[in-house]
């Protein structure tokens, strides 16, 4: 069984992509709404919630857990070994793709992810692209309040117009939706920035999980990680 978690609805974008790639796999989704948002919490709090979520999903039968939350993924390397070993973070694969295609990369993320510099660090290991890490925490609650699946509230539309101006001001050729909640607005954001390449860690992370599971199965091993 595959476990997927986020603080709320953001990780559903990753969950759907995993479903498309592995329709026969048993899956379980955890939305930790009680403790949302994660992006304004301290590192210690986010780490504790992440370890708890992985343990919970494992207890429910998950053999592998996709951390469909960039905020939690930014702390993957600091998790306890039991949690680290069975989980897949989503920042590194998205950063690797951005490093390949972008020269000026804007990252919109939660307060924690943006200030941690996690995307910039990963990209910096692979390329000399310029990275702009932008905290766009209010967009998380706009998505939670219902701006998704083709519906965008006027409040959210207005926020997106300001966001377009902030991103345009950086001159970025590539944009990372560095919080999985923002993947729900990929079409709208893409429409506002038609010349910018958009990378969704939710999607790239799901594809990374698929590759890892496939490789493990081909190697004849029964466990995923």
Q: Name the residues that contact ligand DGL, by CB under 6 A.
A: 6-7, 10, 36-39, 69-71, 110, 113, 140, 179-181
The secondary structure of 17-32 as a DSSP string is HHHHH-TTS-EEEEE-
Distance from C-alpha of 22 to C-alpha of 2, rounded to nearest angstrom: 10
**183 — phi, psi (to 5°)?**
-65, -25
Helix (H) or strand (E) holding 49: helix 43-59
Shortest Cβ 159–ligand DGL spacing (Å):
15
Cα angle: 59, vertex 224, 212; to 5 degrees: 130
Cβ-based nearer residue to ligand DGL, 188 or 223: 188
**Chain Cα centroid distance, residue 59:** 23
Shortest Cβ 123–ligand DGL spacing (Å):
17
The secondary structure of 192-216 as a DSSP string is H-TTSEEE-HHHHHHHHHHHHHHHH
Structure tokens at 176: 């990372």
Cβ-based nearer residue to ligand DGL, 99 or 139: 139
Is 179 one of the annotated active-site residues of the chain? yes
Distance from C-alpha of 92 to C-alpha of 98, rounded to nearest angstrom: 10
Say if residues 189 and 161 touch (Cβ distance below 8 Å): no
Cβ-based nearer residue to ligand DGL, 13 or 129: 13
**Residue tagged active-site, from 69, 70, 80, 156:** 69
Cβ-based nearer residue to ligand DGL, 16 or 216: 16
Shortest Cβ 35–ligand DGL spacing (Å):
8
Shortest Cβ 222–ligand DGL spacing (Å):
31
Is 70 one of the annotated active-site residues of the chain? no
**Residue tagged active-site, from 13, 70, 156, 179:** 179
Residues labelled catalytic:
69, 179
């Amino acid at each position: 069984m595959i476990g997927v978690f986020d603080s709320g609805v953001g990780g559903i974008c990753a969950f759907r992509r995993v479903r498309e790639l592995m329709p026969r796999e048993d899956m379980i989704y955890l939305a930790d709404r009680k403790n949302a948002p994660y992006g304004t919490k301290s590192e210690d709090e986010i780490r504790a919630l992440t370890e708890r979520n992985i343990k919970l999903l494992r207890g429910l039968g998950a053999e592998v857990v996709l951390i469909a939350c960039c905020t939690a993924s930014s702390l993957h390397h600091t998790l306890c070994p039991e949690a680290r070993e069975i989980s897949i973070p989503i920042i590194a694969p998205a950063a690797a793709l951005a490093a390949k295609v972008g020269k000026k990369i804007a990252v919109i993320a939660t307060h924690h992810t943006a200030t941690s510099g996690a995307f910039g660090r990963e990209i910096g290991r692979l390329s000399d692209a310029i990275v702009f890490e932008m905290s766009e925490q209010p967009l998380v609650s706009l998505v939670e309040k219902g701006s998704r699946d083709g519906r965008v509230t006027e409040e959210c539309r207005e926020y997106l117009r300001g966001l377009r101006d902030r991103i345009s001001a950086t001159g970025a050729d590539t944009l990372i939706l560095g919080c999985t909640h923002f993947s729900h607005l990929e079409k709208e954001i893409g429409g506002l920035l038609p010349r910018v390449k958009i990378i969704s860690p939710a999607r790239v992370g799901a594809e990374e999980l698929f590759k890892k599971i496939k490789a493990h199965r081909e190697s004849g091993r029964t466990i995923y990680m």
